[in-house]
Structure 1
Amino acid sequence: MPRLSWSILLILTLLLAAAGCSRQEEAKTEHPKATEKLRARVVVPDNVKGKWRAVKIAVRDKESNTEDIYTVNIGYEFVVAGSQLRLKVENFLPAFIMDGTKMTSASNETRNPAVQIIVTEGGAEIFEGWLFSLYPGTHAFEHQRYNFSLVDFIPAGKKG
């Protein structure tokens, strides 16, 4: 009888374990976002919205040792001359701060200017991140031929 009890106990344990695995698999398929990395969100405060028209981005060509400066309106993009690189200016935050997963601006004063960019090459996205005016090396875009940096920012209503 004791031998039979151990066998029954072993079988019940295996059945419960199998049922538990099955429920875990169901949970994984039902909730795929639970395992995804939390994505930061950008919040442009009302006191910043519409106050900035454009940014100036320097593009340095490491091969020719030249630099061109592009003035790009916020929300627009440009193609780097002689390349397949396309750079889109997403957002400008004059006083960039990060609070958990939220990126925003502490004020409308240019205390820590940053521009959010998306870079594509040949139609494929190769970079999404930030260029910082005061800290150009922070999370800098790495490309074999080009470097980008934020060199100026233009308020709304101002030309040039």
Structure 2
Amino acid sequence: MKGLIALLSITILITACSQNTNRQEFAKAENASPAPAVTPKQSAAGMKLTKPTELLPEITEKYSGIKIEAVNKNDGSKIEITAPFGQKIPIGSTGLEITTSSYFTSFTMVDGGVKNVSMEESNPAAKVIITDNGSQLFDGWLFQEYPDMHPFEHPVWKVVLAGAVKK
């Protein structure tokens, strides 16, 4: 019983102390000056911080689109297509269509966004929109090296990034 009372006392003390800290931090935040305007940032490799739907000139100089593979979950059959940047195209006879809005050869997440840290194909990723009869089913990133990270979910088809199409 004494142990339970001691544990309860410590919990109350910690809660009380942390509430005071939170109030002080909140008051500081209220009195702080507004955040400065965000300007494009550069990576060590000189690549700027981008919006996910932006195609970098360095990418479009070297690549014209991406390679997509659609795997039928029921029978294992595969459909491979080339998806040019910015164009909505059918994924074979699946009834699905894909639009590629961005491609990074070396995708990384940073505070405030995403960026391509180099032109070396170390972590290829493509920002795509997948639709079915005009209804958007997916708007996200497909990762070539990590196809199960934030995958496209569909009852029949698994759509993965298979690579990029060089010019």
Q: Alpha-carbon deviation of 1:48?
A: 3.1
- Distance in 2 (CA, whole Å) between partners of 1:44 and 1:75 is 9
Query: Could you tell me which residue of structure 2 aligns to residue 153 of structure 1?
Result: 164
Q: 8 Å contact 1:45–1:104 — kept in the other structure?
A: no
User: Structure 2 length as normaliser, TM-score?
Assistant: 0.63
Query: Could you tell me which residue of structure 2 aligns to residue 6 of structure 1?
Result: none
Q: 8 Å contact 1:41–1:101 — kept in the other structure?
A: no
Superposed structure 1 runs of 4+ greater than 6 Å apart: none
Q: 1:114 aligns with which of 102, 125, 128?
A: 125
Query: Could you tell me which residue of structure 1 aligns to residue 99 of structure 2?
Result: 88
Q: Size of the alignment, in residue pairs? A: 117
* SS of alignment partner, residue 58 of structure 2: coil
Q: 8 Å contact 2:55–2:101 — kept in the other structure?
A: no
Change (3 A) 1:71 1:81: closer
Query: Could you tell me which residue of structure 2 aligns to residue 41 of structure 1?
Result: 51
Q: Alpha-carbon deviation of 1:44?
A: 4.4
- Distance in 1 (CA, whole Å) between partners of 2:154 and 2:112 is 26
- Distance in 1 (CA, whole Å) between partners of 2:62 and 2:153 is 30
Residues 1:132 and 2:143 are matched in the alignment? yes
Q: 8 Å contact 1:58–1:69 — kept in the other structure?
A: yes
Q: 2:90 aligns with which of 75, 79, 98?
A: 79
Letter in 2 for 1:83: T
Gaps of 5+ in 1: 1-39
* SS of alignment partner, residue 108 of structure 1: coil
Q: 8 Å contact 2:79–2:92 — kept in the other structure?
A: no
Change (3 A) 1:126 1:101: farther
Query: Could you tell me which residue of structure 1 aligns to residue 22 of structure 2?
Result: none
Between the two proteins, what is the percent identity of the paired residues? 25
- Distance in 2 (CA, whole Å) between partners of 1:68 and 1:132 is 18
Q: Which structure has the larger Rg over C-alpha atoms?
A: 1
* SS of alignment partner, residue 50 of structure 1: helix
Q: 8 Å contact 1:47–1:107 — kept in the other structure?
A: no
Letter in 2 for 1:65: G
Letter in 1 for 2:90: V
Gaps of 5+ in 2: 1-49
User: Structure 1 length as normaliser, TM-score?
Assistant: 0.66
